[in-house]
Amino acid sequence: MAEVILKVENMKKYYELSRGLLSFKKPDVVKAVDGISFELHEGEIIGLVGETGCGKTTTGRVVVRLEMPTGGNVMFKGKDITKLEGDELREFRKSVQMIFQDPYESLNPRFTIFKTLTEPLIVNGIGETYEERVDLAIKALEEAGLKPGEEYIGRYPHELSGGQRQRVAIARALIINPKFIVADEPVSMLDVSIRSGVLNLMLDLKEKYNLPIIFITHDIAVARYMSDKILVMYLGKVVEEGPTESIIFDPLHPYTRALLSAVPVPDPERKHERIPIKGDIPSPINLPPGCRFASRCVYFQKGVCDVKDPELREIKKGHFVACHFVEKILSGELKPTGEVKAQA
């Protein structure tokens, strides 16, 4: 077994919504992340998948200590990062980097690429001389696919394309040699024509440095391409978890099955089952009792799904799902109540 780099145990992140000064009511609470657990091993890519608002990005921000969790533990190589202070916290920050969704927003427009890349070196005391930092910056750019690096270090972000800016963001993440990376929708702002280049770059870097990555995306097809393991999130909880191929070819949760059925198939002759999702996502402030997906599920059973919150259970080896009736759904004993159409 590969070394466990990160261990998340029952992690929660709640946000209180402020009220007026004269209000005596208890503040509303948004349960952005509500008790999730997983392990990230050396050289592994975990894909966090789900709709907007499911808690993917909040999870990423908490595990890099940009946000403090409301509850639970986040263990990095055996140390709880929520308790780190001073030198220990600075050492942890050298061990983790985050690649953000929009590279133009995450890069300072007043900094040259050289200053963008060398600022983390200076902050962390890496590189004793100016020349050494120049060499590290050029090497990081070339590792990120910007060759020759000398041509880019004097430019500003607005002088680069979207794909080049994201490669600079990747170079900035790599330059201090982190122990793991959180990539938050790193290609969603890029043209389709250049997405594959950035994704392949990340896969190459993972293979070269045995670098573990938490890859956050709303696109389950991208998650399949990138990930060794997938966690499907819905309203702050993990509803399904397992090896990528098991999730893709044998999805167990109705939500996962609906997500996969929505992926377009590039074959006009092939027909595939379209599984609908009813209604809208419930408010994260006033979460319904029972299963959070109950109000949208075509397999909803009154008196169970709307009363008891399902636990994440291992149905197959390494494949977990949070659904009361998964066995009956798989056997065909429980039929969907909504209309299911085969679409070309």
According to the per-residue pLDDT averaged within each range, which of 164-168, 281-285, 328-332 is highest?
164-168
Non-local CB neighbours of 117 within 8 Å, separated by 6+ positions:
136, 137, 140, 141, 153, 168, 171, 172, 175
pLDDT at 21 over 70: no
pLDDT by residue (tens digit) across 320-329? 999 999 999 8
Q: What is the mean pLDDT of the chain?
A: 89
Neighbouring-strand partners of residue 8: 38, 74
Nearest one of 162, 56, 159 to 106, comparing CA atoms? 162
**CA angle in degrees (0–180, nearest 5) for 160-164-169:** 110
Domain residue extents for the chain: 4-103+178-249, 250-344
pTM of the model: 0.91
pLDDT of residue 340: 41
The residue written with tokens 């890519």 in the block is: 45
pLDDT digits (tens, 9 = 90+) for 195-231: 889 999 999 999 999 999 999 999 998 999 999 999 9
Only one residue has tokens 């191929």, namely 245
Q: What is the mean pLDDT of residues 300-320?
A: 92
Closest by Cα among 146, 114, 155 to 133: 114
Instruction: Inform me whether the pLDDT recorded for 246 exceeds 90.
Output: yes
pLDDT in tens, 87-119: 999 999 999 999 998 888 889 999 999 999 999
Q: What pLDDT score was predicted for residue 288?
A: 81
Q: What pLDDT is stored for residue 273 in this prediction? A: 67
pLDDT digit string (tens) for 77-87?
A: 999 999 999 99
CATH code for the part of the protein at 4-103+178-249 = 3.40.50.300
| Residue 276 pLDDT | 67
